[in-house]
Amino acid sequence: MKPKGMGNLMKQAQKMQQQMLKMQEELATRTVSAAAGGGMVEATVNGQGELVGLRLEPEVVDPDDVEMLCDLVVAAVGEAQRRAQEMTQQEMAKLTGGMNIPGMF
């Protein structure tokens, strides 16, 4: 026989798990963007950190300096992914009441 408190704890855990799944689905539809090179390169990622868009101004595409373009793309994507992770952590904090639960995200 389980103690009554254990049953309530399990119900709360299941409810939180359902809320987390719903939040993950919602975050997959939300996007954040970041720019590099004074706005010449802009990357957009979803709440799961997946790159979903990339915008390049024509002036930044210089065949003689492909390395600079690559650096700008990497910088924009990295910053957009960082912002997506921050957004995810903020949303998770709302759900968990600020508790840092390892392995959640």
pLDDT tens digits for range 21-50: 888 888 889 999 999 999 999 999 999 999
Is residue 56 assigned to a domain?
yes
Using CA atoms, how far apart are residues 91 and 98, in angstroms rounded to an integer?
10
Is residue 61 assigned to a domain?
yes
Q: What is the CATH number of the domain that holds 9?
A: 3.30.1310.10
Q: Which amino acid appears at position 78 of this protein?
A: G
Number of domains the chain contains: 1
Q: What is the mean pLDDT of residues 70-86?
A: 97
Is residue 15 assigned to a domain?
yes
- The whole domain housing 67 covers 4-96
Is residue 41 assigned to a domain?
yes
Is residue 101 assigned to a domain?
no
State the DSSP string of 64-80: T-HHHHHHHHHHHHHHH
Is residue 39 assigned to a domain?
yes
Q: What is the pTM of this model?
A: 0.76
Strands (E), the chain: 31-36, 41-46, 51-56
